[in-house]
Amino acid sequence: MPWPAARALYMAAVDAVAALPRTDTNGNGNGNGPAGIDPPFTVRTPDGVVRTSDAVIVDAPDLLPLLGAGRGALRMPLDRAAEASHVLGVPLLSTLGDCDIVIARDDRDVIIASDDRDAVVRPDEGDAPQAPEELTAPDGTPYLSHTRLLVADVDGRPTPVPWRVIGGISGEIHVDAAAGTNALARALAWHAGTWDRRHAIAEALRDPAGEGQLQAEADLDDS
């Protein structure tokens, strides 16, 4: 089964489970949770069939390059990721690691900044990042621009990425300075909770004078 068909099948299963009678912890009706379900032993990802225990569901777009090693990614609609995780028995990618920004230190070690710990790692030669520059997007949203943006993947390895929003929607925006307007547009869209507008935001960043025309055309789209 090709991935698009598998994805459609999984979403149909999510919809079917959502329609099941709700039960409480004693199995009685009208509770908060769906009736019991049995997750599959394997799932098909875009890269092939893997054991459910080796799969993850991507629940944030900036985590796509941060899978780490040996995991199959299920790319589902972001607003249904938690439901899909429950139905398929596959963890959300965001639960596997903090994926923090890598910050430079004088001795060329780096620290993975976290709310409750500092983990010291050693990046490859030439990878040590510099302090970011504080900038403001045209819409007034502040963000941090990095000469080289490194983020710890879910295994803790520093990984170059074009953008990252720490904390998810309304979080702190980090962008690689060399990644261009597409990266900033994606970061702004995810930060605002309007991921579907990333292409329109990118176009507005490239051509600010044309934003009015873009909005006029958008008004003609299907609702």
The pLDDT, as a whole number, for residue 32 is 44
Q: What are phi and psi of 198, to 5 degrees?
A: -60, -35
Distance CA(11)–CA(50), nearest Å, equals: 18
Distance CA(186)–CA(184), nearest Å, equals: 5
pLDDT of the chain, 223 residues: tens digit per residue = 899 999 999 999 999 988 887 665 555 555 444 556 788 999 999 999 999 999 999 999 999 999 999 999 999 999 999 999 999 999 999 999 999 999 755 445 454 454 444 444 455 545 555 689 999 999 999 999 999 999 999 999 999 999 999 999 999 999 999 999 999 999 999 999 999 999 999 999 998 877 778 778 878 877 6
Q: Which two tokens stand for residue 109?
A: 């070690």
Distance CA(155)–CA(116), nearest Å, equals: 17
Taking CA atoms, 55 is separated from 46, 72, 88, 172, in Å, by: 11, 5, 10, 28
Q: Which two tokens stand for residue 100?
A: 């923090």
Where do the domains of the chain lie? 3-95, 102-218
